[in-house]
Amino acid sequence: MRIGYLGAGAWGNCLAKLLAEKGFEVKQWIGNMPLEEVLKREAGERQSHRAQENRVFTTDLKEALSDVDIIIESVTSKGLRPVLEKIAASELLGPPIVLTSKGIEQDTGLLLSEVAVEVLGEDYKSRIGCLSGPSLADEVNRKLPTSVVASSYDYALMMLICETFTTPYFRVYPNTDMPAISFGGAMKNIIAIACAISDGLGYGENTKAALMTRGLHEIRKLGAVKGCSPETLNGLSGLGDLCATCLSTSSRNYKFGKYLAQGCTPDQAKEKVGMVVEGAYTCVSARQLAHKHRIDVPITEAVYSIIYEGINPKEAVEALLTRAVKQEHL
């Protein structure tokens, strides 16, 4: 199989290596990143000879997507629409596309799968799929056992995604609930920032457990307006991804929240992380979606107030934890 891979961040490189190691031919588009920088980084990473042989890099989008059987996407949620628009405007449309980015588009409130349908057209819908779940790139690189979920608007494509990505250490489950698979992976980043702020302020495991549990409730409430099944959100792409991101001190969203708790400004925290913090972007779109549908999302509101309104993290968390008590599932 010949694969056109879009994106060369931590997650993009991780999956591209996995696919190349399986024996697939991978042409990886690195965007505006200097090729010399990418090659230098790759030289310092541990990877098999087979993975090196089967993967090539290019800054030319047309070259990356010419004569491929499938397209895999790992750009940022903010950058997805511009990249898809470039593809739609070219003569490169045709192969199925698998989305691995996690987010909700600002202003439109669209899931990334919905963005793809809007840009590529309804006729392309059956060729759109996604991959999501608890999958920290560093652990996948080390071939530690990982389980994720694949979905698509088309059953055959969903099963193809499972077959393409599955290895003895990377297990891919099929699930037809495309909206929930996309939504859970986006929302968990916001809750992870909240948990990291709590940890950074010295609060304990009780506090974090409350934030994670109430965070899942928040995800399920807001997910209902996007047609997400609660059962799916309780699975790998929702609860599973939430646990991995909130409990891992190496996740970028967790690091970002920890830096905020230590007194860094949002810009300073992002610079220290050194990678795109999807939770900071999705926080805005989730809040917009909640306001549109009049849904109470207190954790999202607290994170937003810290990042965009300059509220002191300690004050925001304390206000969150001293809200009026109501029935648990309301």
d(CA 94, CA 114): 18
Pairing state of beta strands 25-29 and 2-6?
Answer: parallel
Residues 247 and 188: their CA atoms lie apart, in Å, by 11
Strand partners, 4: 27, 71
Catalytic entry in 17, 22, 27, 188: 188
Burial class (CB in 10 A: 0-12, 13-18, 19+), 161: buried
Q: In 170-312, which residue ranges form alpha helices assigned H by DSSP?
A: 178-200, 205-223, 230-233, 241-247, 252-261, 266-273, 278-293, 298-308
Note if 22 is an active site residue: no
Comparing CA positions, the residue from 224, 227, 211, 214 lying closest to residue 294 is 224
Backbone angles phi, psi at 174, to 5 degrees: -85, 145
Burial of 207 (0-12, 13-18, 19+ CB in 10 A): middle
| Residue pair 32/58 in contact by the 8 Å Cβ criterion | no
Q: What single-letter amino acid sits at 189?
A: N
Classified as helix, coil or strand, 28 is strand
Amino acid at 199: D
**Would you please indicate which residues are annotated as catalytic (active-site) residues?**
188
